[in-house]
Structure 1
């Protein structure tokens, strides 16, 4: 027995010694990292092999899958890094434990996870960006009121990335040759189907069942459904319950014309030229409906199908410009004026007179900006304009507002000689001889405007007058500058072409050479030159255009 035991021990010792010798001092045999075998290698050899095989993969974009979407994630931006040395240390070296030692020789291999470095904030930020790109946001239940008819929008679940679980998936899958699937969670809407059905029955349907009567101190006005319904909405509160909301300012703006007979609007002080001098027309205080109170009162009666009368009060409101303020604005003398003479035509008289009427009485306080387009509005039939000849791309065409540029040019010159700052003006594409060279302006809704800023110490009041062949614009205020104008000789003169046109909208056009010119103004104050301004203007040639259809042609005048 002793011999048998001794022999077995001797055999074990021989085998153990051989195993120790075979295993060596390196990484245990059968060890792999992301499929890379480093078993039996020394720590230095194992580290070099990991750098060679996994190093490139560590910096390559990772493929992440979220549902049906596949995206690329940059490891560096995500704060991920590979630690080869730490991985080898974690793999360890051969063990002297017989069980582990023989297991490494005769058992299967062991796969160990790579050691990685993670910048937590960068990884979370990258995953949040991925979540934004692929998120299926829940659709909240709601009710819309387009065309005065309530429409239920039923809720729908969404899906988003589970950031915490996704971080774990990224850590576990980094350096894997396969893509990483990011876990998602269901995003539930706050507003349920049952809540939409309740809100529809209790509020939305009764809300549009008929008009609302607004009552103010015994006077009444009727608001049709279409006036208030388009400003209705239903928004969820913190508990997911739909609450009605009525946009106060928008409702008041739409209903203002209907409500005007119930109110007394305040009137700003204005100026009127009497006996050749500006006179203040006194302001007047008013009593008006407050938009917020109107919205609250209307909203309160909308759940009712009968008795839909919203009672509101009038509140005092002062004018924006009082009589006393107007008298202190320094409007006392002419600071700039200009007259433009033109060949009369029915369309010109209508459009020029209408534009002049609309800008008359404009009050521009010190520092304020004035715009012709904003003051006159779009040139349409509804705004009092008719069709006439306009210049478009160097050609004469027919459209609404033809002739308005005569008012723009006249206003430009009045501003020019008042000394105010010109912010925007656009000369015509070709020169029109009734205007001073370079000192003229065309306008087109909405992209070409005439704008200036009142840089004077006094306010400016614009006055206009006209005949059937002239228009005059005068600026009143306190004169600060003596303005001297001049211009350079024409240069770069270019001759027009001759064109025969058979289009339906053709208009005959007289030729005019193109040229460039500089205009300047010198601003003097108290006898001293304080500023010189130069404007460079380029005119294209006006081609000679002959229409083949004489009955449709029009001669430019």
Structure 2
């Protein structure tokens, strides 16, 4: 009796030479059926799957043999290796199976010949097993960072991450057959670079003081000393990143009794009167001079209305929250780090940055002088004829301030930093009324 040998496969196939090509797909649901020549009752002689001899086997018998053969193969061990660590695994654990559809396709396409087994890999299962067997391999990258230790910039290097290249291992396995599958397989690992590199962090490093200035104050004026010290502490250890702009008002914050500031002398209408936060301008003026000597671009700054005693003309910077501010930009490419010190009647501002071969100095040129006047004011609180000087008189000036920069070769360049006009401080005398 003639029986047709039916090969079950997952793809639509064409019959091989010697097969009737118009025997098409029959009862196709999840698989397709390809009929061999009606004269064939079994697989031709010479049909092998790897080393498995299927010659003369009918379809169902061949399928049973292949299934048993696959189970035996999947029970075999494979050594996975990473960094000299060897871990034995069973092939089935790795999500490896025989691609039976491809096998049937090849048997139908070239009957009577030796074909190689084709493997399928479950990627999710492969990944899960690799993570279980090699739990310490995958690690996240750690960005480079820094810390400041004793006013020194310390770079904490980046650490690259690594991850098992599951797809590469899957592709390597799928390109093998049971016959060619190696018994020892290296785990492919790829490096995951950090987002912030060590080199990028080192570029931010500062290596010394690039601008420094000090001014003196009267420690006996307690309220003024409190205000000055509080503002200086707010500025201490501030960091300014490249291309950022420092705002003195934003850094120090509002100056009110609620924020701890006290009444001290301030300048109003060219006269010294009591006002909240007096003395803070000395910190802003000291900072401005340090920034100018650090060769930083000044984007906002206002002189006082009159000459002040603690700093040269043209180097002061008055502030009034939130209207008048001192601002400058970090154009150095590295971090700027600010330190302030208040000690024994002296306030000092130091700006740390990346040092260059340039040196900077400031020079003033008086364009014009204006004499002060003496103002007499009657005071009923004084005895008749008693005279008290309430405010000393000082001339007014128009002053040009230049920033002179000298490079490593000794060449100097000069630039006008500001042209400031200071009104005279009138001499005020109080006289007792008769």
Q: TM-score, normalised by structure 2?
A: 0.51
- Counterpart for residue 469 of structure 1: 345
Shift of 1:389: 0.8
- Counterpart for residue 179 of structure 2: none
User: Contact 1:332 / 1:476 at 8 angstroms: preserved in 2?
Assistant: yes
CA distance in 2, matches of 1:376, 1:341: 20
SS at match of 2:319: coil
CA distance in 2, matches of 1:390, 1:441: 13
| Mapped pair 1:399 → 2:275 | yes
- Counterpart for residue 514 of structure 1: 396
- Counterpart for residue 291 of structure 2: 415
Shift of 1:458: 1.5
**Cα-to-partner distance string for 1:507-554 (whole Å, 9 max, x where unaligned):** 93211111111110112333333552341111101112235699xxxx
Match of 1:483 among 342, 360, 363: 360
| Mapped pair 1:532 → 2:415 | yes
Moved more, 440-449 or 369-378: 440-449
CA distance in 1, matches of 2:380, 2:419: 35
Shift of 1:472: 0.3
| Mapped pair 1:493 → 2:367 | no
**Cα-to-partner distance string for 1:32-56 (whole Å, 9 max, x where unaligned):** xxxxxxxxxxxxxxxxxxxxxxxxx
CA distance in 2, matches of 1:513, 1:488: 15
Unaligned runs of 5+ in 2: 1-144, 157-195, 382-387
* Bigger Rg, structure 1 or 2: 2
Shift of 1:489: 3.4
Match of 1:443 among 306, 319, 341: 319
- Counterpart for residue 278 of structure 1: 152
- Counterpart for residue 374 of structure 1: 250
CA distance in 2, matches of 1:322, 1:507: 65
1 or 2, which has the higher helix percentage? 1
Shift of 1:486: 1.2
CA distance in 1, matches of 2:198, 2:239: 13
Q: Residues 356 and 523 (structure 1 numbering): CA distance in 2 closer, same or farther, change over 3 Å?
A: same
> What RMSD in Å do the two structures reach over aligned CA positions?
3.2
SS at match of 2:325: coil
- Counterpart for residue 389 of structure 1: 265
Q: Residues 400 and 329 (structure 1 numbering): CA distance in 2 closer, same or farther, change over 3 Å?
A: same
- Counterpart for residue 336 of structure 1: 211
SS at match of 1:330: coil
SS at match of 1:508: strand
CA distance in 1, matches of 2:350, 2:362: 17
CA distance in 2, matches of 1:549, 1:273: 61
CA distance in 2, matches of 1:488, 1:471: 26
SS at match of 1:441: coil
Shift of 1:452: 0.5
Aligned residue pairs total 242
Shift of 1:322: 11
1 or 2, which has the higher strand percentage? 2
CA distance in 1, matches of 2:317, 2:233: 19
Shift of 1:478: 0.7
Shift of 1:376: 0.3
Q: TM-score, normalised by structure 1?
A: 0.40
- Counterpart for residue 544 of structure 1: 427
For 1:342-353, list aligned pairs within 5 A: 342-344=217-219, 345-353=221-229
User: Contact 2:372 / 2:427 at 8 angstroms: preserved in 1?
Assistant: no
User: Contact 2:366 / 2:397 at 8 angstroms: preserved in 1?
Assistant: no
Runs of 4+ in 1 over 3 A off after TM superposition: 269-273, 279-282, 321-328, 501-504, 528-531, 546-550
- Counterpart for residue 31 of structure 2: none
Shift of 1:399: 1.5
- Counterpart for residue 306 of structure 2: 430
**Cα-to-partner distance string for 1:121-161 (whole Å, 9 max, x where unaligned):** xxxxxxxxxxxxxxxxxxxxxxxxxxxxxxxxxxxxxxxxx
Shift of 1:279: 4.3
Q: Residues 354 and 381 (structure 1 numbering): CA distance in 2 closer, same or farther, change over 3 Å?
A: same
CA distance in 1, matches of 2:420, 2:222: 30
Does 1 or 2 have the higher relative contact order (CA < 8 Å, sep 6+)?
2
Unaligned runs of 5+ in 1: 1-268, 283-320, 551-557
CA distance in 1, matches of 2:337, 2:233: 14
